[in-house]
Structure 1
Amino acid sequence: MKKTIAILLLLALIIVPSKAADVENVKPVKNVIVLIPDGTSLATVSMARWLQWYTNPDKPKLNIDPYLCGTVRTHSSNAPIGDSAPTTSCYMTGQPSRTGYVSTYPENDGDNDIYPTDPSRAFQPLTTVLEAAKILQGKSTGLVFTCEFPHATPADCSAHSYNRGKYEWIAPQMVHNDLNVVIGGGVSILNKEMEDYLLANGYSVYKNDLNGMRADSKDKMWALYGEKEMAYDIDRNPDEQPSLEEMTRKAIDKLSRNQNGFFLMVEGSKVDWAAHGNDPVGMATDMLAFDRACGAALEFARQNGETAVVIMPDHGNSGISIGKASCKGYDKLTKDQLFHQFSLYKLTAEGFAKKLNSEPNSEVQNIFRKYAGFELTPEELDALNNNPDYKNSPIPADQRKSDDNSSLYSGSLTGLMAHILTSRTCFGFTTSGHTGEEVFLAAYHPQGTLPIGMHTNIEINEYLCSLLGLTHNTLEELTSKNFARHMDVFKDYTCKIIPATHEKGSPTLVVTNKKDKKKQLTITPFSNIIKMGKKGENEIRLNSVVVYVDKNNTFYLPESLTDYLK
């Protein structure tokens, strides 16, 4: 009995729970790595773990399994079910926000608001933990992901917008926020101005250049793959695109050279995309790819001794279940009956759609035999040939049936593939959208101060701040200093807003000293560069970005800019 008590006391000393009420007990670390598998419900984790165990009997557990320590309740500011933009925003800023809002204060929604919001702050950009680590502590910062770089989750760490789809606002902010390492998708989005800025500021820039990325030895790098998003891991050509694990290792290698430490966010972006498409193959295999990236981060953290790792999804998606009503007796099926067919799939639904469109119609059954382990039924083959997205159909486009009251005959080719692949399993879906259940939480801390139990997304932000030796108030103070309204900052000066010259352009703010018109600032939003002087002959370089919001015709910028007008 005494021995048991002694062991329990020892465990209590090693693992110190960290709730919002005792974040002051969290021991700060030098490096923080946050890993987010986007849109990953717990059932997705279970499905991926079963697939791994079934195909690799010596691997019954995931890399994250020993570190699972609780759950997270994620939500928007005014709705229990959130999308990636407001949910990761809350992890980064500590403020829940609205659907589509990227690290931006939400509009007040009265009684619908889950926590009270301040109407006067609507649309104000909110400082993120990544930005605070860079500005206040001189840490290196990095982002790794498989979506295009201005997509919601990476944007949440390093940009600000009430509209996640405004890439023309978000992308330049991410470039001008001087992140040290960015690896992911989006070659077509990095325009010449952005690339020129990076090259002029000492970055290596690689576009669809895997060998270049691998050989690069600089501290600062952007490496992008795919016109927009990268391929699903199981569809990926390993000679053209790196795995999420390789990207994570490369980022850590570069970021860890900074003696001040680093902050890195790694996203398994396309688990969410596959969930939206009800594609269990993409969900499971991209989750396993994400878990391998977690393994790389955890391996570094254990060896380094100064690094904390926090792993959690931003929300659930698809309502997937292992077992469905139409699969009679599924609770008595063996592991072979449940997972053998699933283990034979070698492409995602998207991968099948691309394969079918790249090979002649005569190869359809061979493709399914080789990559799925079955042949299409006559009904499925008929549905394929009538699908409007199928380029190699023997049926002319204007003669294809669009609907015969069967789900097989409606929707995209990728959707048809997802339906066919899922029909051979006992997996079920309730929706193709986001879901509101809590998500898993896993963590590693070198001194064992872990976030154990159920946490809100606000409390996760408080934990991340504590890991950096900061507080939520620190973020609020930085927000006040760096994202003040231009009419407040320049109330004693002359302000003129010059409209944009083209549809996707942005206005320019010109501020002049009333008594000395030679003292003038020309401010272009979504950048960290400000021109000074009547002809813009001098430059001011900020450690943050200026954000313009058209909803209230306001520039959000540093209070300190008045110093250049005095």
Structure 2
Amino acid sequence: MKRTITLFLLLAVIFMPAKAQDVENVKPVKNVILLIPDGTSLATVSMARWLQWYNNPDQPKLNIDPYLCGTVRTHSSNAPIGDSAPTTSCYMTGQPSRTGYVSTYPENDGDNDIYPTDPARAFQPLTTVLEAAKMLQGRSTGLVFTCEFPHATPADCSAHSYNRGKYEWIAPQMAHNDLNVVIGGGVSLLPEESEAYLKGNGYGVFKNDINGMRSYKGNNMWALFGDKEMAYDIDRNPAEQPSLEEMTRKAIEKLSQNPNGFFLMVEGSKVDWAAHANDPVGMATDFLAYDRACGAALEFARQNGETAVIMVPDHGNSGISIGRRDCTGYDKLSKDQLFHQFSLYKLTAEGFAKKVNSLPNSEVQNIFREYAGFELTPEELDALNHCKDYKNSPIPASERSTDGKGSLYSGSLTSFMSKLLTSKTCFGFTTGGHTGEDVFLAAYHPDRESLPVGMHTNIELNHYLCALFGMTHGTLEDLTAQNFVPHTEVFKDFKCEIIPAKDEKGSPSLVVKNKKKQVNITPFSNIVILGKKGQEEVRLNSVVVYVDKNNTFYLPAKLVEYLQ
């Protein structure tokens, strides 16, 4: 396998463009903080900056602005436009992958592959920068985000799956990967076994407990808020859910206690969600929340002197523009005409939907006067009342119809709110999906000569992240070759029996035997049981991954030693 890996690495290098940054000359640092605003196009940054400046004339610039240094071309293995799973996977592993793949080697797609891929490696888990920093250098690791914790971007750092939606595979991997700090959404998604594992290993586990998170004295913790994702920042109840900035500061406080250093990934998750919904309020305000988290990370880095900070989206989304064709004369509008109405919005589209569903219909105009700065026209009020998921409509559900009506009438209540709020601006959208433009790159390094200046590919950004830890991409490949080997190769001289899952949502287990010894392996965990009666528990420094596509367990090669 090593020979095959080396051959395809060589082919990838031959077909790869020249590096924008000479990583051999990058000065390694003690700590690395990577901050990703998911699905953020450059126009989103501009819109957020204008909103901040309009509301606060003494703040014309964002925290990231002095550190903007280049762009990143981000893509899947076989398509120029990627989703969060393969794009952040590439940042983490150096290997572009397919839509939906979480730090997993892609299937070969022939001429569609942008760089050569090895068909023999399809579905193999790939070691991430986070995992390498933990395993090789003893650094602490942490994740901060506002989506649910098994969602694509946090999962990309600490789990492996060809299907980003398989939370039952991803969630236990994240718990068993021994991350030191996890703060974000997803209370309902933490399995009982995973919670027991964390508590049994000395973690503080807090669920919808902001005071517990704030007062906890230990350094290892999971703090989750919201049944699944957390609220948008502008909709958030600060007494119940912390801001992204506070979560970032808390994670840095805990992780920085390790003398070996740390790796922290912070995601402004719901910029992307708002972009999918074509909700400019959520996009701008959640990006500003992300920028405040960047400010916290940069403040620590400047004071610490041994920390690098990288700020980069994983892909664009929505094709948003400041200017819309049917907004006549938009290019001559003053800043007041472009941004005054926008500055009056106090809720996202989702927030407005929840608000009107929580109060009687008689309060609708008061809601819009207070939270949007305008009243609904008769046509807009009629469109609201015809929304099928508007609970307080005076029109019976059976009598509501969108047939033959205008564009405001189509879609859900949240979709109606997005269209309504946008209609009062001159912003435009081309899509409700991802887009393929380059994304911004901003960075801080205590040694300015080590900054990543220019246009990078997503592969090269991984090489830069590795260099910050004094590693190379080859280091990740070596760890992959050691820790994610097919069980048929590791145990080729022994009897292997795959025990079927007990139910549809479960996964099979693996039993390997010789005459005197036995290894019992459960996937998506770092725990292996030795002995026919389970006499001994072995804790690995990586997780075992099962792939149903090829009925294969990927595990450390050294496990064979327990049978020899």
TM-score, normalised relative to structure 2 = 0.96
* 1:19–1:452 contact (8 Å) kept in structure 2: no
Q: Structure 2 CA distance, aligned partners of 1:125 and 1:540?
A: 21
Structure 1 position 406, deviation (Å): 2.1
Please tell me the residue identity of whatever aligns with 1:198. Answer: L
Cα deviation digits, residues 177-205 of structure 1 (max 9, x gap): 00000000000001211110000000000
Q: Greater shift after overlay, 399-408 or 26-35?
A: 399-408
Structure 1 position 405, deviation (Å): 4.2
Structure 1 position 36, deviation (Å): 0.1
Counterpart for residue 557 of structure 1:
555
Q: Does 1:493 align with 2:476?
A: no
* 2:487–2:554 contact (8 Å) kept in structure 1: yes
SS at match of 2:352: helix
Q: Structure 2 CA distance, aligned partners of 1:276 and 1:453?
A: 29
Q: Greater shift after overlay, 400-409 or 206-215?
A: 400-409
Q: Structure 2 CA distance, aligned partners of 1:537 and 1:496?
A: 19
1:312-391 equivalence runs, <5 A: 312-391=312-391
1:232-247 equivalence runs, <5 A: 232-247=232-247
Q: Structure 2 CA distance, aligned partners of 1:130 and 1:318?
A: 30
SS at match of 1:455: strand
Counterpart for residue 417 of structure 2:
417
* 1:77–1:113 contact (8 Å) kept in structure 2: yes
1:301-316 equivalence runs, <5 A: 301-316=301-316
Q: 1:546 aligns with which of 544, 547, 562?
A: 544
Counterpart for residue 11 of structure 1:
none
* 2:527–2:538 contact (8 Å) kept in structure 1: yes
Q: Structure 1 CA distance, aligned partners of 2:477 and 2:196?
A: 33
Q: Greater shift after overlay, 344-353 or 398-407?
A: 398-407
* 2:20–2:454 contact (8 Å) kept in structure 1: no
Q: Structure 2 CA distance, aligned partners of 1:27 and 1:58?
A: 36
Q: Structure 2 CA distance, aligned partners of 1:51 and 1:309?
A: 25
Structure 1 position 535, deviation (Å): 1.2
Q: State the aligned residue count.
A: 546
Q: Structure 2 CA distance, aligned partners of 1:36 and 1:125?
A: 22
Counterpart for residue 130 of structure 2:
130
Q: Structure 1 CA distance, aligned partners of 2:250 and 2:295?
A: 14
Percentage identity across aligned positions? 82
Structure 1 position 355, deviation (Å): 0.2
Gaps of 5+ in 2: 1-17
Structure 1 position 537, deviation (Å): 1.7
Q: Structure 2 CA distance, aligned partners of 1:20 and 1:104?
A: 26
Structure 1 position 20, deviation (Å): 5.1
Q: Does 1:145 align with 2:145?
A: yes
Cα deviation digits, residues 356-397 of structure 1 (max 9, x gap): 000000000000000000001111100111110100001111
Counterpart for residue 536 of structure 1:
534
* 1:151–1:164 contact (8 Å) kept in structure 2: yes
Counterpart for residue 477 of structure 1:
478
Structure 1 position 281, deviation (Å): 0.1
* 1:103–1:161 contact (8 Å) kept in structure 2: yes
1:87-486 equivalence runs, <5 A: 87-448=87-448, 449-486=450-487
Please tell me the residue identity of whatever aligns with 2:150. Answer: P
Q: Greater shift after overlay, 300-309 or 406-415?
A: 406-415
Q: Structure 2 CA distance, aligned partners of 1:208 and 1:269?
A: 18
Please tell me the residue identity of whatever aligns with 1:493. Answer: F
Counterpart for residue 50 of structure 1:
50
* 1:19–1:451 contact (8 Å) kept in structure 2: no
Structure 1 position 404, deviation (Å): 2.0
RMSD (Å) for aligned C-alpha atoms: 0.8
Q: Structure 2 CA distance, aligned partners of 1:421 and 1:19?
A: 43
SS at match of 1:389: coil
* 1:20–1:462 contact (8 Å) kept in structure 2: no
Q: Structure 2 CA distance, aligned partners of 1:442 and 1:315?
A: 15
Structure 1 position 21, deviation (Å): 6.0
Q: Structure 2 CA distance, aligned partners of 1:66 and 1:216?
A: 34
* 1:107–1:119 contact (8 Å) kept in structure 2: yes
Gaps of 5+ in 1: 1-17
SS at match of 2:238: coil
CA 1:346–1:77 in structure 2 vs 1: closer, same or farther (change >3 Å)?
same
Counterpart for residue 12 of structure 2:
none
Q: Structure 2 CA distance, aligned partners of 1:297 and 1:523?
A: 40
